[in-house]
Amino acid sequence: MKSTEKKQARLVARVSVDIQNTIQKAAAYSGATITQFLVDSALDKAKSVIKDVEVIKLTDKAATRMMELLEHPPEPNAYLLRAKANYQRHINNVQHSITEQET
């Protein structure tokens, strides 16, 4: 975290004495204050969790297959065609309802 950023939010945590002592020791070993250590550690973990959820990881083989499917998609099957027709009916009904409300 940049030290020049304006700090406007507060985080509070209650922990056991053992956990506090462990964190104090780790902060001291790393040359940081407890606050710096906690914020840096929490931010690293938060970024890691977000990356794990938001980034799709593929093998080379899977990435190649995905690109092939994007470039040459298969023909739609009956289920997809039915879903498309249902969606179009729904949109038409919504548009019709809006038009009726406007008149």
Q: What is the pLDDT of residues 31-76, one digit of tens each?
A: 999 999 999 999 999 999 999 999 999 999 999 999 999 999 999 9
Residues 6+ apart with CB under 8 A from 66: 58
Please report, for the chain, the start and end positions of each structural domain, with discontinuous segments joined by +: 6-55, 60-103
pLDDT tens digits along 1-11: 556 678 889 98
d(CA 62, CA 75): 20
Q: Which CATH architecture has domain 6-55?
A: Up-down Bundle (1.20)
Asked if 37 and 47 touch (Cβ cutoff 8 Å), the reply is: no
